[in-house]
Amino acid sequence: MSLAIFDLDNTLLGDDSDYLWGRFLIEQGLVDEDAYERENQRFYDAYRAGTLDIQAFLNFMLQPLSAHPPARLLEWRARFLQDKIEPIILPEALALLARHRNAGDTLLIITATNRFITEPIAQRLDVPHLLATDIEFIDGRYTGRPLGTPCFQHGKVERLRAWLAETGRELAGSWFYSDSHNDLPLLDLVTHPVAVDPDQTLAQYARERGWPIISLRETCG
């Protein structure tokens, strides 16, 4: 039995859940459209370019959570999952998860996107383990501040190593599926790295090292 690790956005999903949450907030009139869209796009472009300031991004992305009571946030999140996430769940991603599940592998999603957004997505995908960027929660409300190490770039490796130590699992025979060059630190660590619909930088890196390159938007190889 091996550990099968999956990035979430643009890997198992056909889009970026963090970016779509920002679009959802705009559509619901919960944030200023022009200002939020401008910053949302700026951070998304920086992520794709590999220049994202993760702390600045999290300060921006998590702030709306601090402005509303959790009960209201949960109502909005349920609508977001139905309207924005359900349509971008890739059938081939479900098939890939099923193959690893049927092989007896341990399934884990590891994502920079915060736990508030991703926890119900992991549940929908029937993936029992999730490492995501955590959010501070004090006196019954989100503070809008990240908690602990953000699950991004080398932070994914740090968080995964801590999880392995805590659970007694190991990386021997492990798999990791990702679309992004931001995940190269973890892709270099596992036994079986797989580039999934990769960005240009990751595609080149994968070709140079002979890693499998697959698409979950067309066919899963």
Q: What is the mean pLDDT of the chain?
A: 95
Residue 221 lies in a domain: no
Report how far residue 143's alpha carbon sits from residue 165's, in angstroms, rounded to the nearest whole number: 29
Q: Please provide the size of the chain in residues.
A: 221
CATH value at residue 167: 3.40.50.1000
Q: 67-84, pLDDT tens digit by residue?
A: 999 999 999 999 999 999
* 7 belongs to the catalytic site: yes
Residue 53 lies in a domain: yes
Given the residues 9, 179, 183, 199, the one annotated as active site: 9
Percent of the chain with pLDDT over 90: 87
* 15 belongs to the catalytic site: no
Domain residues for the domain of 31 are 3-214
Given the residues 7, 18, 105, 197, the one annotated as active site: 7
Residue 188 lies in a domain: yes
User: Do residues 5 and 186 make contact, with C-beta atoms less than 8 angstroms apart?
Assistant: yes
Q: Give, as one character, the DSSP assignment of residue 15.
A: S
205-212: long-range pairs with CB below 8 Å, 24+: 205/181, 211/187
pTM of the model: 0.94
Residue 15 lies in a domain: yes
Q: 138-165, pLDDT tens digit by residue?
A: 999 999 999 999 999 999 999 999 999 9
Residue 220 lies in a domain: no
